[in-house]
Amino acid sequence: MQEDESGRKTKFSVHRLYVSDDAMELMIRAIANLSRANRRFETLRDVVLHVLNTAPDIADETIERFRDLLPLDGQTRIFLRVNQDEAAALEALKDELTARSLHTCNVRDAVCFCCLQIAEEQV
């Protein structure tokens, strides 16, 4: 456990994501785009938090592009560490994606959706 800004103990969750080659390429593009925009090296976690914190409206076209990427599962293993608040925001995004995409989404899908937002759009 680590302490947050207020001195509270914060628990972290580690998600093990297995992604396809296409999903991995999407993640790499998203990290590169956000790194260029912020003029510093960013991580996958930074990409996810950027999308969760800026809460962009999800356009129908973006949902269509997301559906075109499915399935996202594969052999490449990636770990994503988030705190409780971030995990809750990721769950909320996962639930919205499930409702809007007519596909039962998991955390991997929500993470890939965040990457899609950054990889294909201006930040």
* 3-58 tens-digit pLDDT: 556 666 678 999 999 999 999 999 999 999 999 999 999 999 999 999 999 977 88
Interior CA angle at 38 toward 35 and 44, to 5°?
40
* pLDDT > 90: percent of the chain: 77
H-only helix segments in 6-122 = 21-38, 44-54, 60-69, 84-101, 107-120
Higher pLDDT, 85 or 8: 85
- The whole domain housing 112 covers 2-120
When divided into structural domains, the chain yields a total of 1
SS3 23: helix
Would you say the pTM of this structure is higher than 0.85? yes
